[in-house]
Amino acid sequence: MSGSCKYIFVTGGVASSLGKGIISASLAKLLQSRGYSVTIQKFDPYINIDPGTLNPYEHGECFVTDDGAETDLDLGHYERFLNVPTSQANNVTTGLVYQSVINKERKGEYLGKTVQVIPHITDEIKKRILILGQTGRYDVVITEIGGTVGDIESLPFLESVRQLRWDLGQVNTLSIHLTLVPYIAAAGELKTKPTQNSVKSLLALGIQPDVVVCRTEYELGESIKKKVAQFCNLMPNQVIQSIDAASIYEVPMMMKEEKLDEVVLEKLQMPSTPAPDLRVWEEFLQHLNNPSNSVRIALVGKYVELKDAYKSIAEAFIHGSADTQCKVHLSWVHSESLNEGNMHEKLHSFDGILVAPGFGGRGIEGKIETVKYVRENKVPFLGICLGMQVAVVEFARNLLKLDDVHSAELKPEAKNKVIDLMADQLEVKNKGGTMRLGAYTCRLEDDSKVMQAYKRKEISERHRHRYEYNNSYLEQFEMAGLKATGINPESNLVEIVELEDHPWFVGVQFHPEYKSTVANPHPLFIGLIQAAVAHQNASKQKNKVKLKNNK
């Protein structure tokens, strides 16, 4: 049924947010470093077709793939760890599964049968679990099941896993269950009961885990491992400790230490290739943990209360930080808290500023004021998507001196819509999956900051937007010093703007953060960090001169 591909299922219990995505990505990294070809997919039990229509407060960032899928943020972790792109097929939700089954039912494809959760929904889930493995491109497909065991909505997924284990056989499938071993401070003890109960819930659904990964604040010790093993029908080496780590990037090393990859290979009867070659990863950690200097960067956005809302941006700074060996202290600044009067007070301590992507008008004037501040004070700036669009609006208002300027998204009746709705969006009624999504080519201008950063004439970056730079203002903008330095060669859409006479002012319509990985830190984040270092040095120099003159 599956060829020679092996399937690993990762489920979670006791609590959510224990890091199934990171454990999956870490295991995949270890197997990949042993020469195996691995991909990871996420199956989410919610009813939305995809997370594209979800508010970031609900579910964190929406990650976008090259082929334009709006996906769970865990796919970002998979790509950052493996440095291999994911696709539409790597993220499946209950909504998507039901949609296909219902569409088939309407077409009459079930030939008069009663359509039921079992077998029709489970068959659709099984089919989608196997799709990537059947391409022949992978030795191992890891499937992470969202939610926790015991949730009503994850039942069809777990039943599909149970059936697949039977269909494909024990040596072709493996179940990993991630649980929590809490520390009860009053008793001074680590407790295994929640793990035992969680494994029992899984057993009640017919799934015997092969590996239990225990998230813990403290070392488990041999006796706790033995206890978990005994109550879960496992050998002690099948109980893996996942202790809280300072950074998610430490987890592959910790899993290697715990021999997670060895247990997995043994259980799946796969050849135990030479130990993982993690030299690039180790070097990355070495650089990350031993910075030679540091900068302060502000992320100005409106979802700052929830760190997951800008996950890929935060991670891209970590990759850039390791590459430049410059620690980035990232501060999240709420754009609603910013206004003309408090710019200096709120922003003067930063060496660089990023204005975040977003939708809608909340906090927009704070973002526009931020752009004015970085432009006038020559602070390094990166504007992403909406961040680029507000930079264009600011320039039109304050330098072109046009009146009634805005983006059509925020003021459709504005006289000067310097950012306008894209023509092919005019007829769009449905919100889900209808933006300009995924990878598009962009051609860079010679002698631009971006050309220096990418060192390439043509790039491909991922998108997620409905509005665009209005080309009827192009000449005015360019004459006044806001250069279009990146253009889509097919549609002429302006993808990048740069300010002349500024050390580093770059606005991009695309999302560079989606393509930054450990192995390939993104040039624009590196560029911003380097510009921030230069800005910091220049400010220090200025202060020294000031001090001297005051003496």
Of 82-90, 94-102, 297-305, 357-365, which part binds ligand GLN (CB under 6 A)? 357-365
Q: Which of 120, 319, 502, 511 is catalytic?
A: 511
Q: How far apart are CA 212 and CA 207, in angstroms?
A: 12
| Residue in 5, 214, 326, 385 annotated catalytic | 385
Q: Is 62 in the site for ligand GLN (CB under 6 A)?
A: no
CA separation for the pair 10, 251 (Å, rounded): 16
Quick one: 219 or 424, whose CB is closer to ligand GLN? Answer: 424
Write out the binding residues for ligand GLN, residues 358-397 only, by CB under 6 A: 358-359, 385-386
354 half-sphere exposure, CB direction, 13 A CA radius: 32
Element (H, E) at 78: helix 74-82
Q: Which is nearer to ligand GLN, 312 or 530 (CB)?
A: 312
CB of 443 to ligand GLN, least distance (A): 21
What tokens were used for 236? 């002690």
What is the token pair recorded at 193?
């009961």
- Residues facing 494 on adjacent strands: 487
User: Which range touches ligand GLN (CB under 6 A), out of 132-140, 218-226, 241-249, 352-360?
Assistant: 352-360
Q: Calculate the CA 109 to chain-centre distance.
A: 37
- For the bound state, the minimum distance from the C-beta of residue 510 to ligand GLN, rounded and expressed in Å, comes to 9
Q: Rule CB under 6 A: which of 134-193 touch ligand GLN?
A: none
Q: CB of residue 466 vs ligand GLN: minimum separation in angstroms?
A: 4
105 φ, ψ (degrees, to nearest 5): -60, -45
Q: Restricting to residues 276-335, name those near ligand GLN by CB under 6 A.
A: none
Least Cβ distance, residue 467 to ligand GLN (angstroms): 3
Rank residues 507 and 527 by Cβ distance to ligand GLN and give the closer one: 507
Closest CA to 11 of 182, 211, 308, 185: 211
Neighbours of 548 (CB within 10 A): 8
Q: How many of the chain's residues bind ligand GLN (CB under 6 A)?
A: 10
d(Cα 246, Cα 22) in Å, to the nearest integer? 13
Q: Judged by CB under 6 A, which of 45, 320, 357, 383 binds ligand GLN?
A: 357
Using the minimum distance from each CB to ligand GLN, give the nearer residue, 278 or 385: 385
User: Please, what is the minimum distance in Å from the beta carbon of residue 435 to ligand GLN?
Assistant: 6
Q: Is 127 helix (H, G, I), strand (E, B) or coil?
A: helix
Tell me the closest approach of the beta carbon of residue 349 to ligand GLN, in angstroms: 26
Sign of CA dihedral 106, 112, 114, 118: negative
Of 90-98, 354-362, 439-447, 485-493: span binding ligand GLN (CB under 6 A): 354-362
> Three-state SS string across 41-75, please?
EEEECCCCCCHHHCCHHHHCCCEECCCCCEECCHH
Nearer of residues 5 and 388 to ligand GLN, judged by Cβ = 388
Taking the least distance from each CB to ligand GLN, the nearer of 40 and 64 is: 64
CA–CA distances in Å: residue 238 to residues 131, 177, 180, 211: 28, 11, 15, 5
Identify residues 25-54 at the interface with ligand GLN (CB under 6 A). Answer: none
Q: Which of 70, 124, 394, 409 touches ligand GLN by CB under 6 A?
A: 409
Query: Cβ of residue 409: shortest distance to ligand GLN, in angstroms?
Result: 5
Cα–Cα distance measured from residue 518 to residue 175, given in angstroms and rounded to the nearest whole number: 27
Q: Residue 259 and residue 256: Cα distance in Å, rounded?
A: 5
Nearest to ligand GLN of 309, 385 (CB atom): 385
Catalytic residue among 144, 159, 315, 513: 513
Q: Which of 40, 48, 42, 47 is nearest to 433 (CA)?
A: 48
Q: Is 513 a catalytic residue?
A: yes
Closest CA to 314 of 326, 332, 302, 288: 332
> Residue 177 in 3-state DSSP?
strand
Stretch 415-474 residues interacting with ligand GLN (CB under 6 A)? 464-467
Residues with active-site annotation: 385, 511, 513
- Interface residues with ligand GLN (CB under 6 A)? 357-359, 385-386, 409, 464-467
